[in-house]
Amino acid sequence: MTLAVAADPVTAVAARVRGVRKVFGSTVAVDDVDLDIPDGAVLGMLGPNGSGKTTLIRMLLGLTRPTTGTVELLGRAMPEAVATVLPHVGALVEGPGFHPFLSGRENLRRVAATEPLLATRAIPAAVDAALDRVGLGQAADRRFRGYSLGMKQRLGLAGALLLPRRLVVLDEPTNGLDPEGVRWLRGYVRRLADEGRTVLVSSHALSEVEQTADDVLVIARGRLVRSSSLAALRAEAGVGSMVRTPDPDRLGAALDVAGHSYRQERGGLAVDAAPELVGELAAAHGVVLHALAGTGGLEHAFFRLVGEPEPPEETVASEEVLR
């Protein structure tokens, strides 16, 4: 069975995949995938390591040719239109690769020099802006080999975002980032979405997809086993939190702004969001609360979809104090 993200027939799509299959010797990496990615979507591609996510991304970007099937990116056939299409795409796939003995700034200037849409005279300013955007302005002149893993990942993101892109593809983007960097990345993905960019975030970490994406694809063993809005998947999974707070009106107002539905129940608020998301809202608005995670939920739904053993019950049903 093949599935696709539903797209209105009159809505432009950033990418279209039909009947794509990729075989390496006797290994089927991607198996008969149909997929539409609507313009302006923030799409999470979720699956275990080795499920075929990166292979599918590489075919989308024209970096490898499918064994069978067709791929279109920004309305052009791939990989034939690579030279025309990729200047409009920012991608970080399989980690950044830079010269170890050059500084971050020198590495980024080399990347910028290959950008056909970036005038030579505009390179210094574009590089400085990209470095500042990812928080590397103070470390720009240090050699790349001295960067931490998180700093290397940030430099890769800077290269992907040297100029405005129609589509941004991020494969395991939080790898090596510290908590502050992870929070920054989530916010940046949302800003890209607010600007009308299309963003594809691939991850094996459910929490990252849950906190950045509007729609999700679940891939297992090379096949697309589920595609839906995140809200629909969460509703089916019964994801939510029972929240006890001394200031329900204040938290309720914050939940309204964030787009989370909730209802008053004895002892607190029943919220359609995971405890960590409610906790972030509480921290931002100065509300101290207790959040009780429901049993089952999105994590269990994910493990059922991909056919992997579920984690012990106590890891997904626990009471936390969120401050």
Query: How confident is the model at residue 310, as a pLDDT?
Result: 52
In a domain, 8, yes or no: no
Query: Does 4 fall in a domain?
Result: no
Please check whether residue 5 lies inside any domain of the structure.
no
pLDDT at residue 240, rounded to an integer: 66
- Domain of residue 142, CATH code: 3.40.50.300
| Residue 291: predicted pLDDT | 65
Residue 109 lies in a domain: yes
Q: Give the model's pLDDT for residue 1.
A: 37
Asked if the structure places residue 3 within a domain, the reply is no
Percent of residues in the chain assigned helix, strand, coil, to nearest 5: 40, 30, 35
Check whether residue 174 and residue 209 sit in a common domain: yes
Q: So what's the pLDDT on residue 55?
A: 94
Q: Is residue 52 part of a domain?
A: yes
Instruction: Check whether residue 180 and residue 255 sit in a common domain.
Output: no
Q: 175-190 pLDDT, tens per residue?
A: 878 888 888 888 888 8
Query: Which stretches of the chain drop beneath a pLDDT of 70?
Result: 1-11, 234-240, 265-267, 274, 288, 290-303, 307-323
Residue 44's identity, in one-letter code, is: G
Domain count, the chain: 2
What DSSP character marks residue 143? Answer: B
Is the same domain home to 171 and 280?
no
209 is a domain residue: yes
- Which of the listed residues 169, 202, 230 is the one where a domain comes to its end? 230
Q: Are 258 and 281 in contact (CB under 8 A)?
A: yes
Q: Domain range holding 122?
A: 13-230
DSSP H helices in the chain: 53-60, 82-85, 104-113, 123-133, 149-160, 179-194, 206-212, 230-237, 248-258, 275-285, 298-306
Among 201, 230, 259, where does a domain finish?
230
Same domain, 164 and 310: no
> What are the C-alpha distances in Å from 112 to residues 108, 170, 231, 278, 317?
6, 19, 38, 40, 48
Angle between helices 104-113 and 123-133 (to 10 degrees): 130
Task: Summarize pLDDT for 228-254 with one digit per residue, the tens.
Answer: 887 777 666 665 677 777 888 888 888
Do 181 and 242 belong to one domain?
no
**Does one domain contain both 126 and 162?**
yes
For residues 222 and 242, state if they share a domain: no
* Confidence at residue 159, expressed as pLDDT on a 0 to 100 scale: 94
